[in-house]
Amino acid sequence: MEERWVDWKQSTLFQNQVHEFGVECFETEESMKKFFYSTKAAPFVFICPFVLTVVVFWLLPIGKSVMMSFQNVLQGQEEWIGLRNYRQLLNDRVFRIAVGNTFKFTIGMLLLLIPLPMVLACIINSRILKYTKIFKTIYFIPALTSVVVAGTVFRLIFGEGDRALMNQVLQLFGGESVKWLRLRTTGYAALLILACWRWIGVNMMYYIAGLQNIPAELYESASIDGANGFRQLVGISIPLLKPTTTYVLTISINAGLSMFIESYMLWKGNNSPGNIGLTIVGYLYRQGIEKNAMGYASAVGILLLLVVLAINMTQLYLTGFFRKEESV
């Protein structure tokens, strides 16, 4: 019995069978491997989830929006009306107010939300300060706080009554109570403060990450050459933070142009007195959701998309984002 088994194991037939089995196993694995390692197929597989997400959640809705912007959309009816929505939009005074407000907010945000976080990041990243983790946390907490809660609290802080916090502060210095959220300038200031409070920590984090990428030797050699702290900031930190600044600029422009929720919460709704807090997205919401004019709202959305694209593209072009050799 034993001998016959040994014979069988040594027979060519057996060897062949084992070999074939092995080859089969190997081939299945090989074909999988081939598939994943193939320079042709693999990239598509890997980008598939992103592409699908973009197509399903971005491209299709945008396409549909473009269509709707040429339609009058009512329940169970979609009527093609050509450029009517756009023509109406050009004559729309409230839309112009919204555009004006949005640009004002965006510019205000850029003026505050780039230099301030950069300076804060430099301070926190330097060795002058102790307990930097605590400061980092404190600055970052607003980003984690719900805007809804924050907006409500800010609304109370900027209340009209004599007992509202800001008015009490004013009274402390002998001032009179101000109707913060009713006047154009103070309303604008309140909105900027809310936006800064919310975003400063996030932008600061980007800058800290950027700063930590700058090799310490540069500072070392600079200090040997006798450069003081300020000189180092201007000569090393700021130029080398350029990629970070480009990124922060891009997202800040986006955040500014698409501002809605801050204004919505601060004025407890989309209808601020005299439309002083109305943004483009707020106007889109008012038309599409509150007034059920989906077609018109789509036109507002498309216009906003074009504006954002134009601004961002120009800005990215100017900062050299598209130049290959400089991309980081």
Partner 1 sequence: MKKKLALLIAGTMVMSAALIGCGSGQAGGVPAASDSQEAPAESGASGEAVDEAVETEETAAEESSASGEDVSAIGSDDPEATELEHWTFTELFTAFYADMVEQWNEENPDKPIRINVHVLPYDDMHNKLQIALNSGTGAPDTVDIEVGRFSGFTEGDVQLMDMTEYAQPYKEYVVDSRLQLFSRDDKLYGCPTHVGATVAFYNEKLLGDAGIDYTTIRTWDDFKEAGSKYYEATGKAFGNLDTGTNMFFNLLLAQLGGDYLDEAGSISVNNEKVAEALQIMKDMQEANAVSLVPGGNVDADEGYAAYNSGEFAVMIMPLWMSNRFVNYMTDLDGQIAVAPVPVFDDSTTVLSACNGGTGTAVVKTSEKADIAAEFITYAKLSEYASVIQWDTLGNDPCNMSVWTDASVTENPDNRYLAYYTNNPFDTLNAVKDGIMILDSQTTKYYPSIGNSFNTEVFNAVFENGDDIQEILDIVQDELENEFAY
Q: Which residues bind partner 1 (CB under 8 A)?
A: 32, 36, 45, 49-50, 53, 57, 72-77, 81, 84, 88, 91-94, 146-148, 152, 159-161, 179, 182, 260-261, 264-265, 268-275, 286, 289-292, 294
Q: What angle do CA 229, 233, 235 make, to 5 degrees?
A: 110
* CB-based contacts of 224, cutoff 8 Å, min separation 6: none
* Closest distance of CB 260 from partner 1, Å: 7
Tokens 């005299």 appear where? 274
SS3 279: coil
Q: What angle do CA 138, 141, 147 make, to 5 degrees?
A: 145
SS3 16: helix
* Closest distance of CB 201 from partner 1, Å: 16
* Closest distance of CB 277 from partner 1, Å: 10
* Closest distance of CB 154 from partner 1, Å: 13
d(CA 298, CA 16): 69
- Strand partners of residue 73: 78
Between 39 and 75, name the residue whose CB sits nearer to partner 1: 75
Between 74 and 318, name the residue whose CB sits nearer to partner 1: 74
- Which phi and psi angles does 291 have, rounded to 5°? -105, 0
Query: Taking a C-beta distance cutoff of 8 angstroms, is the pair 277, 263 a contact?
Result: yes
* Closest distance of CB 24 from partner 1, Å: 16
* Closest distance of CB 255 from partner 1, Å: 11
Between 50 and 131, name the residue whose CB sits nearer to partner 1: 50
Nearest Cα residue to 276 out of 155, 100, 80: 100
d(CA 315, CA 309): 10
Between 11 and 38, name the residue whose CB sits nearer to partner 1: 38
The CB density around residue 285, as the number of other CB atoms within 10 Å, is: 18
Nearest Cα residue to 254 out of 313, 189, 184, 186: 313
Between 9 and 33, name the residue whose CB sits nearer to partner 1: 33
C-alpha count within 13 angstroms, C-beta hemisphere, residue 64: 10
* Closest distance of CB 119 from partner 1, Å: 29
Between 210 and 256, name the residue whose CB sits nearer to partner 1: 256
Between 76 and 226, name the residue whose CB sits nearer to partner 1: 76
